[in-house]
Amino acid sequence: MTKKLLFVCLGNICRSPAAENIMNHLVEKQGLGDRFICDSAGTGGWHVGAPPDRRMRAAAKERGLDFVGSARQFQAMDLREFDLILAMDKDNYCNILALDPQGKFTDKVKMMCDYCETYTDKEVPDPYYGGADGFNYVIDLLFDACGGLLKSFPKN
């Protein structure tokens, strides 16, 4: 069965597209491309249609990765459409669940950092207003979390 994963942050130009691209990279590397569909979205709508932030793309490029995508806003329908929704921080988590007043989909919504194996962060820090170090940190953290996330699925 194909699993549909949705990564969610605020603007959908820094953290969640990074998570989507890193997860796709790990999935492809393990030859599991037919097992997962990854997407990302932002709880805010300011950057709809924009590619991943230039600084995030530059940090990715240094590791030989090309981050692609076009920002979109999270919508209530996503709660129905996706099997697992990964929130980058607590605000994202609360804003996602605010669109599910009856709590029907609570079990599908998780914190991305719950899957970390090495890092002890509880949230993926927002790098938007900081320097290049923040973008590099987010990529390292997301490699850890995405690796743990991938291991959380049964092998066959």
Residues that bind ligand 4NP (CB under 6 A): 9-15, 42, 46, 126, 128
Catalytic residue check, 53:
no
Cβ 110 to ligand 4NP, closest distance in Å? 17
Give whichever of 46 and 153 is closer to ligand 4NP, judged by the CB atom: 46
Catalytic residue among 14, 15, 89, 146: 15
Give whichever of 12 and 24 is closer to ligand 4NP, judged by the CB atom: 12
Beta pairing partners, 73: 42
Catalytic residue check, 9:
yes
Q: Is residue 63 within 8 Å of 140, Cβ to Cβ?
A: no
Give whichever of 33 and 130 is closer to ligand 4NP, judged by the CB atom: 130
Catalytic residue check, 15:
yes
Catalytic residue among 53, 78, 89, 126: 126
Cβ 119 to ligand 4NP, closest distance in Å? 17
Residue that has been written with the tokens 């932002």 in this structure: 42
Angstrom distance (rounded) from CA 128 to CA 16: 12
Angstrom distance (rounded) from CA 131 to CA 135: 7
Cβ 81 to ligand 4NP, closest distance in Å? 21
Cβ 32 to ligand 4NP, closest distance in Å? 26
Beta pairing partners, 38: 5
The residues annotated as belonging to the active site are: 9, 15, 126
